[in-house]
Structure 1
Amino acid sequence: MIVEDEALLCLLADGLLAAEGFDTIFAADETEAMVHATAAADRIAVAVVDMSLGGDVAGPRVIRALRQHAPNLPVVVITGFDGDAPQADLRGLGWPTVRLHKPGGYDELIPAVLDVMEQARTGTWPQEWRRDTDYV
């Protein structure tokens, strides 16, 4: 599932995912995403979600809604916000989640999708997210 309000970026993501064999469904806004979250939750293998939809930081609400139906749904967040900006904060949105910076992050979309799906499949968190005390 691709949740993106910019048509060209949505088409870019669709092309990249289709080349890897993914069938995609689209949502251009939060309302449409919520409909898909309810109606197609069992068919969504991964979600690519823009943090800002129509000028509103709706991405976190969309991710929460998707994960109500599929708690371990792999999510790739695309954001134009700087990683330190409060609007880019992913805490509390669950796991597995990967963040890419927009628009250049689309070059990394397929590796990120495959990575987040592998994290969900294996239950393995990325090592760079772990604290030193997690290894003791």
Structure 2
Amino acid sequence: MPDTGVILVVDDNEDFLTVLSDALALLGYETRALSDPDEALGVLGAGESFDALVLDMILSEDVSGLDVARKARAEAPGLPVVFLTGDQTVAVDAETRRLGPVIAKTDGIMAIRDALRAI
């Protein structure tokens, strides 16, 4: 994926969400940033079009990044997904890895950009 396109970014940490959205914008991406996973599910269900998703793996007690990715893929089967995690101990299962790469938040914006380019 070139450094253009519209990305839905979902993270429950609003400070991180703002920094990530701003950094992606500086790289050339247009972002729609949401901190509420239920709102993200609603946006995806409403049929808004995105070129990729960047999702925190742990969003709330009720909705995970994997849940949002599953919904997104149901709406748009080929939609690229990049998962983020701030918890290096989180278990990453085969289904998650099939949906998209998992990047540690501490790896920085260039790792996220590289993952977007790779998918």
Q: Please give the range of the TM-score, normalised by the shorter of the 2 chains.
A: 0.7 to 0.9
> Residue type of the partner of 1:108?
A
Measure how far apart 1:28 and its partner are. Answer: 0.9
> Residue type of the partner of 1:50?
D
Q: TM-score, normalised by structure 1?
A: 0.71
> Residue type of the partner of 1:92?
E
Higher gyration radius (CA): 1
Aligned pair count reads: 112
Tell me, in whole angstroms, the C-alpha distance in 2 between the residues paired with 1:37 and 1:44: 9
Task: Please give the per-residue CA displacement for 1:83-122, whole angstroms capped at 9, x wherever unaligned.
Answer: 6x43x32x22474511101233434111111111xxxxxx
Aligned-pair RMSD on alpha carbons?
A: 2.1
Tell me, in whole angstroms, the C-alpha distance in 2 between the residues paired with 1:56 and 1:104: 27
Aligned residues with identical type, % of pairs: 29
Measure how far apart 1:60 and its partner are. Answer: 0.8
Measure how far apart 1:51 and its partner are. Answer: 0.5
List, as ranges, runs of 4+ consecutive aligned residues in structure 1 with deviation greater than 6 Å.
none
Structure 1: gaps spanning 5 or more residues: 117-136
RCO comparison, higher one (Cα < 8 Å, 6+)? 2
Counterpart contact for 1:73–1:96, Cα < 8 Å: no
Q: TM-score, normalised by structure 2?
A: 0.80
Query: Are 1:7 and 2:7 counterparts?
Result: no
